[in-house]
Chains A and B, each alone.
Chain A
Amino acid sequence: MIRMVLAALLFVSAVVVWPTDAAAQDSSAVTVSGKGDFAGLEITVAQTRDLINQTVRVSWTGGEETGPVGRFATNYLQIMQCWGDDPAGPAREQCQFGGLEAQSGLGLGNFTKSRQIAYNDPKDPREPTPIPATGAAFTEFHAVTGKKTPSYGEFFDAGTTNEVPFAKTRADGTGEIDFEAQTALEAYGLGCGTVVNNTPRHCWLVVVPRGDKEVNGRRVGVDHTGNNLDSSPLSQSNWENRIAVRLDFRPVGRACPIGVAERPLTGHEFVADAIARWQPALCANGGSVFGFTQVPDGIARDQLGLDEPGMVFTSEPLASPGKPTVYAPVAVSGYAIAFVLERQSRGPEVETDPKVWQRDGQLITSLNLTPRLVAKLLTQSYRDAVPGNQPYLRRNPRRLNEDPDFLAINEEFKVYGALMNALDILAPSADLDATKALWTWINGDTDARAFLDGSPDPFGMVVNQNYRNLALPLPNYPKADLSCKELAFPLGPDCALLSRPLSADLHEGGRAISRGDTLGKLPNGLPDPLDPSKPGYSRSPRQPTGERSLLAVVDTATAQRYGLPAASLRNAAGQFVAPTPEALGAALDQLSPTEVAGVKIANPAGRNVRAYPLPNVTYAAAVPSAMDKAAGAEYAKFLRFASGPGQTLGEADGQLPRGYLPLPDSLRRQAGEAAAVIERDAGIPITTPNDPPPATENVVNNPAPTTNAPANPPQPPAVPPAKPSETPTPKPVAALRDTPSMPVSWLLRHLLAVALIAGGLATVAGPLMSRLSSRVRRGPEEVSQPGP
């Protein structure tokens, strides 16, 4: 049965699945033109078929520049998803728009984010809906379920909607966004992908282009009352300019049966996206349901010592396990520094060549970083990374994009970094083994280490004094400078940890920078409404699209998920290498061995010129003696799926998300062998520490790489080696020494030394004394002639 399912899956993937993402997007890309005032506008939707819940690139040419700089007053696109069975396209009542109405700090205009369509100013002559005496009239929302609600009401809200009320067109008339296509699971009012008469329901992507003319024909900045557009895209005159593109969805994903006991999976974030994809495929057709718990590597390893560890996922192995532990590689990805940096030249006033400033707002896609530059960004060493102009940073550049050390290897930023504000890297709070590798990469670089030790770089920049002589590697990112800018109540203080915080994890960081969000909070100038004795703080305003300049530490799967480019890091061979599949593959060839055979970790010192310095291999670890037979079989099945069909790149359930490198054959074999050992040894208790358990004897099909050292005796597993217990951190060992002011202890401590010194003196003194005494006996005349 399982074989049949697998065969079916393979068959499906062979036929339906696309060799690469780009090819798939090409095959169903659609380009459409606008009409009327927008006839020159050409909009391309990169993928319109076989959609799931994913992002779709929407790009355009021939638009007018959104203005003015950094604000959304005129000439932008409004993009939304709609349902509608009419081949001509959807009605405005069928569109998911208006959910962001209450969001402040997002674009301009009284009704531009709203479903409100009838207003006195600007009055739309083509609007059939009358203006009620009571005030506002809204477009109803007609859900696919048949229900009609007066406004967006219950079907979507700010937390769920995918609408893009303001998409920016650059000075050269182009622009693009990543639009989130939603299935019925994300937007049940639209029902996209629900199977009706054996076909999944299609939906629509609708773009309403906006110029500088209001619905009443008046122009913004000329005779319109405001300095920006005010009307809703759903107002009849605006709606008539809409451009609709049909979106075809795959049938909505299968779901696991709820209420079944889950097999626990516990581990680090690197594997989270892959497991989320594998879960629905694993439970299909009565398969096991697995529940994933994301914890730091160290806690996952600690779990191996518990009575029922289940299966855990880490980068580094448990150095001295109490019981035989089996390791299997299940996912390869990279540890990356993702960035959102958009071209920001000095603008038309300064740049004489229009070709230069017309590209403002475009995403920069490549960035070179040396270990020293990353060290600067991670140690709050740029002047503006710490509030309050701290004197110890006064000789440092204010930001990355002003640092000559950076500009020397990133030419483009000399022009386009002019107005950027890149200060630091948004890093996760969670401890990760991979973070140790990143710090090791920095620590292994002579320039970076010298910088951390206090030597100025060639341009005179020095490390933030709070990080000087930082002991490395660390499993986390310290925020050692907690300085505040002291301001009179209620204006402050403005503090470093609050204004530039750590993210919870890699996903939060990646998502935040993709939205222009620093996650920081700044004083809002008013007392806290809940406690007027304290200053009030508000979320830092998001950087507007086109003016973003943020970096974050992420894994490559997270970078792909949020459409973020990743920096090229300088490897030990001196080459700048981005975490491409090729570079990750090259990095796999130079991994470092660990105490546990078959488990290898990133080797940032590897000298392969093509290798990315920070690959990550996720290992699944299990203790067969600590699980029953049934659990062993299910975990083995998990490993076989994860290292088999689960390694096919794609967007469907069960497939590997983009950003992971499919496991090479050698690692797949290793995982398969580990699965066999788990299945075979599960439920067989370890009898005595001295007898190697029968389960772990070297069987023909159990070669060394699949199990770790204790699993292959000689070492009796239950005897813990004398090594210090494994720990992910180089935190000081907590054995205490005495505080310096302890006279008693000092004496005791040096008692032995004193005794020995006394002994040594006695050694010398002994014979002398005897000589002396004999001299005394013999008389003074013999003194000059010692010796018998």
Chain B
Amino acid sequence: MKRLAVLLAVLLLAAPPAQAQNYTPISGAGSTWSYNALDQWRKNVVQYGMRINFAGTGSTDGRNQFKAGQVDFAVSEIPYGLTDAGVRDVPPKDGTYAYMPIVAGGTSLMYNLKIGGKRVTNLRLSGEVVTKIFTGGITSWADPAIAKDNPGLKLPDRKVVPVVRSDGSGTSAQFTAWMAARHGGIWDEYCRKAKRATPCGFTSNYPLIAPAVGQSGSLGVANYVRQDGSEGSITYVEYSYARNAGFPVAKLLNSKGYYVEPKAQAVAVALMQAKINQDLTQDLGAVYTNGDARSYPMSSYSYMILPIAEGGKFNKDKGRTLSDFAYYFLCEGQQQADRLGFSPLPINLVRAGLDQVARIPGTTRQNKDISKCNNPTFSADGSNTLATNAPQPPDCDKQGTTQCKEGTGGATENTENNNNAATGNNNTNGVNPTGNPTDAPADPAAVGEDVVDPVTGETVRRSGQSATATPVSVSLRQNNSSLLIVVITVLMVVLIFGPPLVSRWMRRPGGDR
């Protein structure tokens, strides 16, 4: 036994870099928006000897727990000190905490919609329509305003069910901040109905007015929308939840006139316009209106609120763990962001984040050799590789008469054009020789309740439906095609064998005679 102990000791001593680091365990709580990323990092650093506990209880709860000293760090989409529904969220004592961005992502619009029993995967929405959907202004999917966004779809007259967060949520704060900034009038109107003071601004607690349905947590809203019984529902949730559920997300119209999906690259491009305040909190005004055709308007960061002073339960030993954990996820952990349904942080924010890490008591990260940081967005010239390499959107994603068929989010199936008036387009390479850039507005007057028929401005429709209507035969295969094929076969047989047989039959009596 003694020999064994010696052997073990030798084995361990022979490998000094693999010796345990004796990290102190730390605990945190907060955002479900970024939970899918944080939870994965937490699991991966176990191999570095770290034990991180994290409870995804929502941003509001995370901020409250941090303020009360119950956790070592919090994760939140919004900072302290903001006034929400007339109540100021009082921050902890100055000089005891700092903000650090941890991961970027798109707040996506996950929906459950079918046409003739087939899931729609290529829905597009403009900002105003989204705002009206979530404030009760649009109640049917056949609404002309939705049809205008979707020239390739003829949507059913089904009730729109907006699904919102019922708990205190940073996702709600992000979403309502965007509505307040972009469509303040419509949003304020809704707030007034909910008896909130206006101008309403952002809120973590979404006002719940029927037919809106409230659900708790990001997983709660996603699981509600994905049920078959929830057809017609739509919610706002971080992209990874929709992707994991195998559900599509709406492409959102940006200010350049393109409908864009919140993929990692679109988020990275959009956030190049984010204004980072002195304390690293974000001003997203310019992100919402980013003029780059590739940008997703509802892009944002999630934040860690970390202690920069000892006190309460927090000490230098914990600071050592927290600083190494933070270094891990700002650099290496960002490699996972895209795979998880997020977007990696760009270099300027990683650099600013590492400055915050250096302020943690007991930090191990005093020198900031950023070249060792294995972050996928970094390039030699300091630009964001991800944004630089982001492809231009295809022409079929442009506002107008065409609509791409490709599925979005976690839905891989295409949606075929079911609106005879529009031309579908499968081109994803950004080169579309046939796309018609004419940005012709739909005529609301021409759009009826049951026969939604947007006018396209293209001559193709006036010259008869035959050319664009041919794909109908393709869609037939899905449904009652077998019956038709039988009928056709029988008719073919009759057509071929009919004439000789009939003539023979007609001849026979003559022969008898």
Contact = CB atoms under 8 A, between A and B. Distances in A.
B506 interface: yes
A537 to B, nearest CB: 7
A257 interface: yes
B495 A760 contact: yes
B25 A429 contact: no
B181 to A, nearest CB: 22
Interface in A472-525: 475-476, 478-482, 497-498, 501-502, 504, 521
Nearest to B47: A279
A526 interface: no
B154 A738 contact: yes
B20 A185 contact: yes
B462 interface: no
Contacts of A729: 246
Contact of B328 (A160, A188, A258, A482): A258
A530 B167 CA distance: 8
A302 B336 contact: no
Contact of B498 (A16, A280, A760): A760
B118 A737 contact: yes
Contacts of B414: 734-735
A740 B503 contact: no
Nearest to A729: B246
A194 interface: yes
Interface in B363-419: 372, 374, 407, 410-418
A22 interface: no
Contact of A759 (B120, B121, B214, B495): B495
A302 B412 contact: yes
Interface string B223-246: 110111110000000000001111
A251 B15 CA distance: 14
Interface stretch (A173-181, A226-234, A603-611, A750-758): A750-758
A533 B491 contact: no
B317 interface: yes
B447 interface: no
B17 A286 contact: yes
Contacts of B418: 736-739
Contacts of A27: none
Interface residues of A, number: 112
A480 B116 contact: no
A390 B321 CA distance: 51
Nearest to B337: A293
A186 B51 contact: yes
A337 to B, nearest CB: 20
A292 to B, nearest CB: 6
B47 A289 contact: yes
Contacts of B121: 734
A276 B412 contact: no
B460 interface: no
A87 to B, nearest CB: 19
A697 B346 CA distance: 43
Interface string A255-291: 1111111101010000010001001100111100101
Nearest to A189: B24
A417 to B, nearest CB: 29
Contacts of B427: none
B495 A531 contact: no
Interface string B137-180: 00000000000000001101000000000111000000000000
Nearest to B406: A734
Contact of A429 (B12, B219, B229): B219
Contacts of B222: 429
B502 interface: yes
Contact of A745 (B60, B166, B420): B420
Nearest to A252: B20
Nearest to B511: A787
Contacts of B508: 787
Nearest to A262: B332
Interface string A181-199: 0001111100000110011
B114 interface: yes
Interface in A227-257: 251-257
B21 interface: yes
Given A258-B48, A498-B220, A736-B115, A756 B495 contact: yes
B420 A497 contact: no
B80 interface: no
Interface string A732-749: 111111111110110011
Given A254-B19, A734-B415, A753-B488, A185 B420 contact: no
Interface string A444-464: 000000000000000000000
B472 A185 contact: no
Interface stretch (A77-85, A579-587, A763-771): A763-771
Given A262-B332, A276-B43, A736 B420 contact: no
A725 interface: yes
A480 B227 contact: yes
A253 B503 CA distance: 94
B251 to A, nearest CB: 15
Interface stretch (A56-64, A120-128, A151-159, A630-638): A151-159
Contacts of A481: 229
A374 to B, nearest CB: 20
Contact of A251 (B12, B114, B224): B12
A194 to B, nearest CB: 7
B51 to A, nearest CB: 5
Nearest to B494: A760
A498 B216 contact: yes
A735 B498 contact: no
Given A734-B415, A737-B478, A255 B47 contact: yes
> Which of B20, B51, B374, B450 has most chain A Cβ within 10 Å?
B20
Nearest to B333: A291
A114 to B, nearest CB: 16
B154 A276 contact: no
B195 interface: yes
Interface in B324-353: 324, 327-328, 331-332, 335-336, 339-340
Contacts of B339: 264, 266, 293, 295, 303
A785 interface: yes
A159 B56 CA distance: 13
A732 B60 contact: no
A302 B466 CA distance: 37
Contacts of A727: 412-413
A8 B118 contact: no
A733 to B, nearest CB: 5
A475 B226 CA distance: 13
B469 A188 contact: no
A788 interface: yes
B20 A154 contact: no
Nearest to A475: B246
A524 to B, nearest CB: 13
A276 B46 contact: yes
A226 B149 CA distance: 68
Given A160-B51, A259-B372, A753-B488, 19 more contacts: A160-B27, A254-B19, A256-B48, A257-B17, A261-B374, A279-B46, A280-B18, A283-B18, A283-B47, A293-B340, A299-B244, A531-B205, A734-B121, A734-B407, A735-B118, A737-B115, A737-B478, A740-B116, A741-B451
23 contacts: A154-B317, A154-B318, A185-B22, A194-B22, A254-B20, A255-B47, A264-B336, A291-B44, A292-B43, A298-B410, A299-B243, A299-B410, A534-B208, A732-B118, A733-B478, A736-B475, A738-B418, A739-B418, A753-B487, A760-B491, A786-B510, A787-B509, A787-B510
Interface of A: 8, 11-12, 15-16, 145, 153-154, 157, 159-160, 184-188, 194-195, 198-199, 251-262, 264, 266, 272, 276, 279-280, 283-286, 289, 291-296, 298-299, 302-303, 429-431, 466, 475-476, 478-482, 497-498, 501-502, 504, 521, 528, 530-531, 533-534, 537, 725, 727-729, 731-742, 744-745, 748-749, 752-753, 756-757, 759-760, 763-764, 766-768, 771, 785-788
What 5 A-B pairs come out closest when comparing CB atoms?
A787-B510, A255-B49, A734-B413, A763-B498, A279-B47
